Amino acid sequence: MTTTTDICNAAISHVGTRSKISSITEGSREALACLAHFDMVRDATLRAFDWNFARITASLAQLQNPAPPIGIARWAYIYAVPVDCIRIRRLNDVPLAVLPETFYERAATTDSTGAYVGAILTNTAPLSAIYTARVTDPNSWDQGFVDAVVYGLASRICFELSGKEERVKALTQMWQGALQSGAAEAGNEGSALNRIMLPEALIARGFDDGTQEIGQVWPARDV
């Protein structure tokens, strides 16, 4: 079981300090640094990639407000962005090879209290979206995502706790590496046609994702 405290202590360890925390809310120097950056690191790492564990498909609620004009065009429908949405990935759950992309714009509108809320402008109804949700429970996170959050948090708190600029640069590079590695592993978890059969052009370039399926060519077509 991975906890927020575990992640913070791993980040503190990468910074190079000997202190550890028992809780992110304990008020120590290390805990306050982690508390200031933890949520921002988590959300930035979620937004960076279409993580499997945070991918949600949901129907969107249409708003009654007319969509505002954009340039010379006017969108027909306006939908509310889900409150837990970190980033919209695509709309209507339709592979682009099958149907054209559903065009849309992200914008803002106001609710009944005058507060600004996220909105999606489009000409399609009804509408569903695949998006990355704000998953806050570390026990639901992919291990590659956990590693990326650890290095991301370490890079943000390093200068405050150690004052070492070179260490900050190194940890930032480690965060980027962990992010790319974790994202690649998550992206390869699942089945798809292009992981079983590849065009000859990709095979000629030596493309390999580590699976035994790679290397088969597309079936020859009758001419």
The confidence score (pLDDT) of residue 23 equals 96
Q: How far is CA 180 from CA 34, 84, 92, in A?
A: 23, 24, 27
pLDDT of 100 reads 61
Name the 3-class secondary structure at 20. coil
Using CA atoms of 117, 112, 62, 55 in order, give the dihedral in degrees to the nearest 10: 30
Domain boundaries along the sequence of the chain: 4-50+142-187, 53-133, 195-223
The whole-number pLDDT of residue 64 equals 79
Q: Are the C-beta atoms of residues 154 and 69 closer than 8 Å to each other?
A: no
Q: What does the alpha-carbon distance between residue 176 and residue 155 come to, in Å, rounded to a whole number?
A: 10
pLDDT in the model for residue 70: 57
State the DSSP code for 198: B
C-alpha–C-alpha distance, residues 53 and 115, integer Å:
30
pLDDT at 116: 87
Q: Which helix (H) or strand (E) holds 79?
A: strand 77-80
Q: For residues 49 and 188, give the distance between their C-alpha atoms in angstroms, rounded to a whole number.
A: 13
- Single pTM value for the model: 0.78
CB 179 within 8 A of CB 148: yes
In order of 2, 9, 21, 182, the CA distances from 147 in angstroms are 11, 12, 18, 8
Q: What is the pLDDT of residue 213?
A: 44
Mean pLDDT of each 10-residue bin along the chain, 223 residues long: 94 92 96 97 95 94 72 78 93 63 84 85 89 96 96 96 92 93 86 49 51 43 46
Q: Any idea what DSSP says for residue 52?
A: G
Q: Are 12 and 20 in contact (CB under 8 A)?
A: yes
Please say whether the beta carbons of 127 and 91 come within 8 A.
yes
